[in-house]
Structures are given as C-alpha cells and as structure tokens.
C-alpha cells in the first residue's frame, strides 16, 4: 500500500498508509476525542478546511451508510486515523470507511501515531499540515489559510429550501448547518425554511417566521462582522436560538469579542453547567473559537451555561427577549443528547411570543 506523510508547519513529519483519494491536501490539523460517530464527524460542515484527526484507535469498524451524513458532501480537507478497519460488520452499512473517502474525493492516512499527533497539537496549539507522498516536501502555508468567509460560502445553501410541517415556522439562517439540527426541528413537526447566511432581514420578514435559528459553521466568527447588525435586528424582532457559530455571532452582535482557542473543544464528553437549574450536562462540541468572558461584562446578555473543565462561556440568554445561544450542540450526533431540551425551550419561546418579542420568554 502507498505510504503517505503528514508534514506539519513545525517541521514534524508523521508517516502513515494512504487511504481514500490519492490527492495532496493541506489545512488546519485538529483532533476529535469521540469514541464513535466518525461518519457524523467527517460530514460535519464545521470541519471545512480542516484535516481531522480521529483519536479513537479503531475507525471504520461499523462501516458507512447514506443516512447518518451531516451534509451532502463533506467539506473537511483530510482524515487522519490510527487504524482503519477494512472488514467492517454492520447490518446498516453500505460501504467501507476507506471506500467512502475515495468516493468523496477525500484523502486520508491510516496507521498514524495519533497520540503523538495530538500531543503536538496540544503543545503547539494551532497547527497546519499537508498530506503528501513526499516526506521531504517543504510546504508553505498561507496566513490565513482561507479568505474571510470563504469556508462558510463553500458549505452554506445557495438559495432558500423549504421543509413542510404543521407547527411554527422556523427560518434557519445557514452558516453551515448540520443535518441533525434540521432533523430535530422537523421531528417537532415544525415548518423550516433554510436560507443562505447573507439573506436580508427584509427577505426573512417576508417569509413570516415565528422564530430564527442561527446555525453552526466553519471558520472565524470575526469574518462575519458585516452580519452583526442584521443578527442584532433579528433578536429584536423574533425568538432566536444560536448554536455554536450562531452563538458566537449573537454574542458578538451584542458587543462581545471572540478569541482563538488553544486547540478547541471537539468531542462528545464536555460537561457544562446550566446556571438556571444547577444541573450539569454532558455535551457534544466542535469549535476552535469561543467568546472572551472579559468582553461580556457590560453585555445585555447574561451567561446561562459555563464549561466545567475550563470555565468558558457555553451559552447566553437575554433577560427581556426570547434569545438563547449555546456553544455546544444540543442535536448531538455524535454524542449525548442531554441538552435536547434546548429545542423545547426554543419552541416554547415561539409559542409564548407568537413569533414576536413583545412577550418576555417564559422560563421552563
């Protein structure tokens, strides 16, 4: 089998066996600690532009199928694994891990020392890498790797897409939404219209929504400063829920600032505290930026959730408007569904307000 190499901007070179598409690629190198859910991780649009390292030592043992994808076409640049199972066994599987990477035209490396790689990421924090067959290559990585907003433009819908339902109407402002978010809304019999992230408030108003959901997505939230006034206006007009990048954009539209994390939160076992109930929940997370707490001291938004491990902000609420944001993923997949009640609170806000902000959101 073909040997491949991951060459890092630190000069470190890790050897592996080539899997998937035999094309060279480069991107930011990140890692996810989840034990299951490799298909959902690879197809998560938030990984656009990144080479994803899967920490669990065996990947691919239950194969791949067509209904667990979080997007129609994965946007990650490559995949690094310790061992890729070439003889999967699962009644639902349709193809193997390596074969599916090839179909998606995504390159990858197996038999890589992922423990060493994760240690390097933790040591050097943000790392850039290139997957190649030449161990002596000296790649030059541009700074930044991608133009502002390029990754969101790549993964977001190009025109509105409607999904029928008999309940309240939700406009999903798409910065790179996961399919599981849409599925959870449709399970509640909501009517959903997915619109591009650059859709204007006038166009949204013409759709007569009862609530707005601002999605997750890839890249630096600061790239979307031009959308902050629109997002602030939406929170003045409708019940709003923000997830991951959507959470950051809501906070920044109220004056907060974001910061690049050392190596992000990516995994399915992140504990967060809900200050409203005093309960701790285990959450699924995937983000490389978060909100700087020092920038929120005079914000209209109040902290609702914090991270147990590092004390970071995991969510806000507005005391007088039906506005809620969460840094974690309540839809999970992969990961625990402890915080699925976030969708219930969003629906309750729409029912309480009738799609307006004149009524203060009733706490559950």
- Known catalytic residues? 244, 329, 331
Tell me how far the alpha carbon of residue 254 is from its chain's centroid.
Answer: 22
**248 annotated binding-site participant:** yes
Tell me the C-alpha distance between 142 and 311, whole Å.
33
HSE on the CB side for 142, CA within 13 Å?
6
Give the bridge partners for 8, in sequence order: 129
**217 annotated binding-site participant:** yes
**46 annotated binding-site participant:** yes
**245 annotated binding-site participant:** yes
Tell me the C-alpha distance between 93 and 313, whole Å.
38
Residues sharing a CB contact under 8 Å with residue 40, sequence separation 6 or more, in sequence order: 68, 69, 70, 180, 333, 334
**237 annotated binding-site participant:** no
Residue spans of beta strands (DSSP E) within the chain:
3-8, 13-20, 25-32, 50-54, 58-59, 78-80, 83-84, 107-110, 127-132, 161-163, 169-174, 191-196, 211-214, 240-243, 258-274, 279-291, 302-307, 313-317, 323-326
Q: Are strands 127-132 and 83-84 parallel, antiparallel or unpaired?
A: unpaired
**197 annotated binding-site participant:** no
**286 annotated binding-site participant:** yes
Q: Which residue ranges are tagged as binding site for L-glutamine?
A: 46, 217, 219, 245, 248, 286, 288-289
Q: Which residue ranges are tagged as binding site?
A: 46, 217, 219, 245, 248, 286, 288-289
């Amino acid at each position: 089998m073909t040997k491949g190499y991951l060459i890092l901007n630190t000069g470190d070179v890790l050897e592996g066996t080539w899997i998937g598409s035999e094309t060279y690629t480069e991107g930011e190198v990140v890692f996810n600690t989840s034990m299951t859910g490799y298909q959902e991780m690879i197809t998560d649009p938030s990984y656009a532009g990144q080479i994803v390292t899967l920490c669990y030592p065996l990947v691919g043992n239950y194969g791949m199928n067509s209904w667990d994808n979080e997007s129609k076409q994965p946007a990650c640049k490559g995949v690094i694994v310790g061992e890729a199972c070439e003889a999967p066994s699962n009644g639902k599987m349709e193809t193997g891990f390596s074969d599916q990477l090839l179909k998606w035209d995504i390159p990858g490396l197996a038999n890589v020392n992922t423990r060493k790689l994760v240690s390097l990421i933790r040591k050097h924090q943000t790392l850039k890498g290139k997957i190649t067959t030449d161990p002596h290559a000296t790649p030059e990585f541009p700074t930044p790797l991608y133009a502002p907003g390029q990754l969101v433009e790549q993964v977001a819908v190009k025109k509105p897409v409607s999904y029928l339902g008999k309940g309240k109407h939700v406009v999903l402002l798409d910065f790179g939404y996961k399919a599981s978010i849409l599925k959870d809304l449709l399970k509640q019999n909501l009517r959903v219209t997915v619109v591009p992230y650059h859709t204007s408030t006038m166009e949204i108003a013409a759709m007569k929504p009862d609530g707005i959901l601002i999605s997750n997505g890839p890249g630096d939230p600061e790239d979307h400063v031009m959308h902050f006034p629109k997002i602030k206006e939406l929170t003045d007009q409708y019940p709003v829920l923000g997830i991951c990048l959507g959470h950051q954009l809501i906070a920044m539209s109220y004056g907060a600032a974001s910061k690049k994390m050392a190596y992000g939160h990516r995994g399915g076992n992140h504990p967060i505290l809900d200050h409203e109930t005093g309960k701790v929940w285990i959450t699924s997370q995937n983000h490389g930026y978060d909100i700087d707490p020092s920038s929120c001291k005079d914000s209209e938004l109040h902290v609702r959730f914090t991270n147990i491990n590092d004390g970071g902000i995991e969510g806000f609420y507005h005391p007088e408007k039906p506005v809620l944001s969460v840094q974690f993923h309540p839809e999970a997949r992969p990961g625990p569904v402890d915080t699925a009640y976030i969708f219930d609170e969003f629906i309750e806000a729409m029912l309480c307000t009738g799609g307006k902000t004149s009524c203060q959101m009733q706490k559950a």
